[in-house]
Amino acid sequence: MKLNGNLLIGAQEVGATAGSMKSLNPATNVEIEPSFAFGGSAEVDRAARLADDAFDSYNNTSLADRAAFLERIADGLDAITPELAQRASLETALPVAQLEAEAAKSATQFRQFATVVRQGRFRQATIDPAQPERQPRPRMDHRSQKIAVGPVAIFGASNFPISYSVAGGDTASALAAGCPVIVKAHNAHPGASELMGRVIQQAVRDSGLHEGVFSLVRGGGNEIGEALVDHPLIKGVTFTGSEGGGMALFRRAQQRPDPIPVFTEMTSVNPTFVLPGALAARGAEIGHGFIERMLVTVGQACLKPAILLAIDGPGYIDLRRAMTAPVEAMQARTMLTPGICAAYRKNVERQRNAGAERIAAGGEPQGAWDGQAVLFEVDGARMLDDPSLSEEVFGPAALLVRVKDVEQLIAIARQFRGQLSATIQLDRVDHPLAANLLPVLERRTGRIVINAFAHPQEVSYASIHGGPFPATSDSRFTSVGMSSIERFLRPVCYQGFPDELLPEALQHDNPRGIWRLTDGQLSLAAIAHDMEIPSPVCECDSI
C-alpha cells in the first residue's frame, strides 16, 4: 500500500495546510520518507461536520451490518500485517515479530467487538410493561436502551503503534457503539497510522456507510488536538499518554460550554507485593519473573510492573539476586522516541536524587536514544518519606523496596495513588495478610492479580484496564475489554411508544433476539436459542 502522507477526511485525501513532517527511525536517528501532512482547525471542522452528518445513519445501522463492518476492518488489518509491521518497526525500533503479533491482536479485537455487537447486550434493553390497572396510578409502558453518544475523538498513543493507535481498542469499541470516529494520529508513527487509516477508510466504503464514519488527522503542536476537544460536534475523547497531557485535555473539555467526557489512561507503576510465605518459598522465581515482564517493550508498557515490595526475611536475598542478574545482562535498547528517552533519563536521575540506590544496571547506551536498564533499591522508611519514589519511570527501570514489617507494607500500600493494576504474590500461609491488604488495593486499582504479573492482560468480558486517578480520569470505565464500549454509550427511555416506532432492540417481538430485562427478569426471544455466539477472549501483550 503506497503512503502519500495525506490526511484522510472522510473519503477524501487532504494535503498539508499547516506544514509537514517526516517520521524518525529512532534506531538510526535518520528521517524516513515520505513527508506527512499537518492540518489544523479547518480540517478538524471538516471531519467533525462529516462525522455529525454520519451519526444518525451509522448509529441506526443494523447490528448485523455494523458487525460485518468491524470484521472488514479486521480482514483488512490481516491483509496488510507484514507491511504494517515493517513500517511500524522502522518508526519505533520495536521488533517486527512483536508488531506482527500486535497487529493480529488488533484484528482480533475488531472481531471480538463484532461479536459484542451481534449479541446486542451492550444496548442494555430494559422493559417495564404498562400496568393500566395499577393503583393508585396506572403505569405507562417504559422501555430503555443505550445509544452512542455521538462523534468521538481518539488520540493515538506512542507506545503501542498498532493496538493503541488508529486501529486500536478505542477505535474498535467506539465504532462498535455506533460512534463515528476522528483519530488524531500520533506523530511517532505516521506511516503505520496512515496504513491503518486506509484500511478503515476502505472498510467504510465497502460497507456502504457514510464517509464521515472515519477520519484521520495529524498536526504539529497542540492546535489540532485542542481543536478536536473544543469542537462542539465532538461528544467524547479518549487519550493514552502522560498525566500532564491527559489532564490538559480533560480540563479543556470541562471548560467547554457543553462539557464532554475525556477518558484518559495516564500513569501507573503496577506495584507487586511479595508476601512472606511466597518470598521464602520462591523468591528467586518471583524476582526473575518480575524483571522479565518489566523489560518487555523496553519498559514502555502501561502495565509494566515497576515497583516490587517485599518484607525483609527468608528469601529476600534470593529475590534480590534474581532481579539484578537479568538487568545486568540486558543490553541498552532503542526507545520509541527521543522525547521518551530524554524523559526516561531525567526520571532515572530523579529516583537517584530521591535516595534510591542503584544496585544493577545493564549495558551502556550505544545509540542516541538507547535506554539503559536500571534496578534501584530503597528501604520502606525512605519510601514513606518521599512519595516521589512511587511515581512512574516510563522505561526499563524498576524499584525494589525492602520493607521492615507488615505494618510498614500496609502503610506503603495506602500511600500509592490510583493504579491500573496491583499484584500479590502469595502462598496459602499468606492468606490472612492478603485479606488485610486487599481492601487497601481495591480502593487504588482496577485490577488485582494473584501469583502472576500485571503484564500481559486478557481481553475479555471481565477485563478491566482502568483505576482511580491518576491511572485514569474516570475509574468507572475500562479502556480494554468488551465493557470498554460503555464509555461511548448513554441511556434513552421511550415511554408510551407504539411498537412500530420503537427501536428494534425494544420491540415486542424482539426481532434481533437479544437479551432483555423485562420487569426485572432477564429474557431472551426464541430466535436467539439457535444462535452460535463465540466468547471473545484473547491474551494481549500490547497493553
Which one of 43, 71, 265, 377 is the catalytic residue? 265
Does residue 532 register a pLDDT over 50? no
* pLDDT of 136 over the 90 cut: yes
| Chain segment 308-347, per-residue pLDDT in tens | 999 999 999 999 999 999 999 999 999 999 999 999 999 9
Q: Is 503 helix (H, G, I), strand (E, B) or coil?
A: coil
Q: Which residue has the higher pLDDT, 459 or 306?
A: 306
**272-458 carries CATH number 3.40.50.620:** no
Please, how many CA atoms are within 13 Å of residue 521, restricted to the half-sphere of its CB? 5
Catalytic residue among 179, 302, 341, 540: 302
pTM of the model: 0.94
Q: Which amino acid is at 400?
A: L
Task: Indicate the pLDDT class of residue 456, thresholds 50, 70 and 90.
Answer: confident
Give the pLDDT band of residue 524 (cuts 50, 70, 90): confident
Per-residue CA distances from 389 to 99, 169, 377, 402 (Å): 32, 31, 10, 13
Residues of the chain above pLDDT 90, percent? 94
Helix (H, G, I), strand (E, B) or coil at 246: helix
Residue 439, exposed/middle/buried by CB under 10 A (0-12, 13-18, 19+)? exposed
Confidence of residue 349 (pLDDT cuts 50, 70, 90): very high
Residue 517 near residue 501, CB atoms below 8 Å = no
Gap between the Cα atoms of 140 and 138, Å rounded: 7
Question: What's the rounded mean pLDDT across residues 106-122?
Answer: 96
Domains in the chain: boundaries:
7-128+140-234, 272-458
**Residue keyed to cell 525512605:** 382
Closest CA to 215 of 72, 65, 53: 53
Rounded CA separation 240/454 (Å): 18
Distance of CA 101 to the CA centre of its chain: 17
Q: Which pLDDT belongs to residue 525?
A: 56
pLDDT at 527 over 80: no
- Virtual CA dihedral for 166, 482, 543, 410, nearest 10 degrees? 140
- In degrees, rounded to 5, the angle at the alpha carbon of residue 106 between the alpha carbons of residues 101 and 112 is 125
Rg (CA), the chain: 25
Number of H helices, E strands in the chain: 13, 25
Q: How far apart are the first and last CA of the chain?
A: 27
Whether pLDDT at 436 is above 90: yes
Q: How many residues does the chain have?
A: 543
Query: Which of 322, 373, 378, 331 lies closest to 348 in space, CA to CA?
Result: 373
Query: Residue 523: its pLDDT value, please?
Result: 84
CATH superfamily of 7-128+140-234: Aldehyde Dehydrogenase; Chain A, domain 1 (3.40.605.10)
Query: Residue range 91-104: average pLDDT?
Result: 96
Q: Taking all residues of the chain, what is their mean pLDDT, rounded to a whole number?
A: 95
State the Cα–Cα distance between residues 54 and 147, nearest whole angstrom: 15
Give 457 or 42, the one with higher predicted confidence: 42
Contact assessment for residue 424 and residue 448, using Cβ atoms and an 8 Å cutoff: yes
Least confident of 31-35, 107-111, 162-166, 534-538: 534-538
| One-letter amino acid for residue 249 of the chain | L
**Could you confirm whether 302 is annotated as catalytic?**
yes
- 205-233 pLDDT, tens digit per residue, is 999 999 999 999 999 989 999 999 999 99
Band (pLDDT 50/70/90 cuts) for residue 172 is very high
Predicted pLDDT of residue 280? 98
Question: Residue 18: which pLDDT band, with cuts at 50, 70 and 90?
Answer: very high
Q: pLDDT band at 418, cuts 50/70/90?
A: very high
pLDDT over threshold 50, residue 526: no
